[in-house]
Amino acid sequence: MSAHCAHHHDDTPANDPRYRRVLWLALVLNAIMFFVEFAASWSSGSVSLLADSIDFFGDAGNYAISLAVLGMAIGARARAALFKAACMGFFGAVVLGRAIWSFGHGVPPEAATMGAVGLAALAVNLLVAVLLYRFRSGDANMRSVWLCTRNDALGNVAVMGAT
């Protein structure tokens, strides 16, 4: 019995190699979509696409941080979750500033680009959300990954509604 207690095996979802692979895939897809949407936002004048591109950038960072802290102590994972929240707040302020500038300058966005890129973003976020669904519980980092992805898919629906 003491031998069993001395050898502890952690079967949490964070230690599942499938979770790590899903996070890597999510990181790559989000990084690609950041560049696609960032370029499309500037060519179309769409603040919605800019906001979503910055969100993809933040999510790629979210996935990278989550990968980095998977095996760390709970305190480190909690600090990482707080850092990710602060970054999202900063990104929101940047987008708000751009939206105010666009409103003041009366720059209408190009709807066709918004629609096409918004549809691609929705597809990526839905795919990642489906892949992460089974890993939606756990510590603050695991929950933040799931919640950000789910909320992004909902945000893409809003972008599509803005076209």
Question: Does 9 map to a domain?
Answer: no
Q: Is residue 105 in some structural domain?
A: yes
| pLDDT > 90 in the chain, percent | 17
Residue 149: domain span:
14-162
Task: Evaluate whether residue 128 is within a structural domain.
Answer: yes
- What is the average pLDDT across 145-163? 76
Domain count, the chain: 1
Whether residue 1 lies inside any domain: the answer is: no
Is the Cβ–Cβ distance between 118 and 48 less than 8 Å? yes
Q: Let me know if residue 5 belongs to a domain.
A: no
Question: What pLDDT score was predicted for residue 33?
Answer: 95
- The C-alpha atoms of residue 90 and residue 58 are separated, in whole angstroms, by 10
Q: What angle do CA 28, 34, 37 make, to 5 degrees?
A: 135
Q: With respect to residue 51, please indicate whether it lies within any of the assigned structural domains.
A: yes
More confident position, 23 or 2: 23
Residue 95 lies in a domain: yes
Cβ contact 98:54 at 8 Å? no
So what's the pLDDT on residue 4?
A: 43
In a domain, 36, yes or no: yes
What is the pLDDT confidence band of residue 3, given thresholds at 50, 70 and 90? very low
User: pLDDT band at residue 12, thresholds of 50, 70 and 90?
Assistant: low
